């Protein structure tokens, strides 16, 4: 039969080993979580960089004369000098009478 001292040493060694292994597993899980978070953050960063690049391209375009004209036509319905506006009527559109003139 092993001595009491030897039993205490073996028990402490097994307990220390169990603590070390469980701590090691815990750290491996934390590392896996951190790697996953890094992967997600890198994906978001990639999206943001792409978005910034697209906005920079738009800003560069709208700084040009052609970009300013495009913006004026699309958002403000303006026409350039020498251009004609052609209005097309839809067959489905209601015919509205023009409002009466002032003084009638």
Separation CA 43–CA 47 (nearest Å): 6
pLDDT in tens, 4-21: 899 999 999 999 999 999
pLDDT in tens, 32-89: 999 999 999 999 999 999 999 999 999 999 999 999 888 888 888 888 888 887 878 8
Answer whether 0.95 is exceeded by the pTM.
no
Contact 79, 85 (CB under 8 A): yes
Quote the DSSP letter at residue 101.
P
Contact 79, 73 (CB under 8 A): yes
**Within 13 Å and on the Cβ side, how many CA atoms surround 18?**
6
């Amino acid at each position: 039969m092993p001595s009491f001292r030897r039993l205490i040493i073996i028990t402490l060694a097994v307990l220390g080993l169990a603590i070390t292994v469980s701590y090691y597993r815990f750290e491996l899980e934390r590392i896996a979580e951190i790697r996953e978070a890094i992967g997600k953050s890198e994906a978001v960063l990639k999206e943001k960089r792409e978005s910034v690049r697209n906005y920079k391209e738009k800003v560069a375009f709208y700084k040009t004369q052609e970009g300013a004209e495009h913006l004026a036509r699309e958002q403000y319905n303006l026409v350039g000098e020498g251009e004609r506006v052609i209005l097309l009527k839809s067959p489905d559109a209601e015919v509205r009478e023009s409002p009466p003139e002032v003084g009638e």
